[in-house]
Amino acid sequence: MELDNLKALSAIRLEHADECISAAKSLLQSENYKSAANRAYYTVFHAMRAVLAFDKIDMKHHSGIIAEFRRLYIKTGVFDVELSKIISVLSDSRNDSDYDDFFIVSKEEVTEEIKCAELFLNAIKEYLHTK
């Protein structure tokens, strides 16, 4: 795949991440906390995929995307290890929100998750600006 195509793929994935963070904020405002937690996670997920596009990596399972992002970008020091913690927290919250019928996420928790998702997204955007 040519560099221009990789840039276009990355841009589409980044656009999806932007849509997810916007949706997370709207859902928070309307007090749909579980759905907001889901969208916060997907912000991070699509941001990781935007970076991995340049490595021609995409996978069927979220765990594979997370593992490759950590291997190629966290463990090598491209991104701060704090981003790895954000991935874990948001992934756990998304899984609980989506699959645990009795899970409750508070307004305060999801507000913090959205802030973390924005921090993650901004780090990705800064990195991709150099590509």
The two tokens of residue 120 are 């993650």
Identify the band that residue 130 occupies on the pLDDT scale cut at 50, 70 and 90. Answer: confident
Confidence at residue 12, expressed as pLDDT on a 0 to 100 scale: 97
C-alpha–C-alpha distance, residues 20 and 28, integer Å = 12
In this predicted model, what pLDDT tens digit does every residue of 82-100 receive, in sequence order? 999 999 999 999 999 889 9
Tell me how far CA of residue 107 lies from CA of 31, 72, 80, 103, 122, in angstroms.
8, 34, 27, 13, 22
The domains found in the chain, sorted by start residue, are 3-128 (1.20.120.330)
pTM: 0.95
Among the residue ranges 18-22, 66-70, 101-105, 122-126, the one predicted with the least confidence is: 101-105
Is a pLDDT exceeding 70 seen at residue 1? Answer: no
Q: Amino acid identity, residue 1?
A: M
DSSP annotation of 72: I
C-alpha–C-alpha distance, residues 57 and 96, integer Å = 27
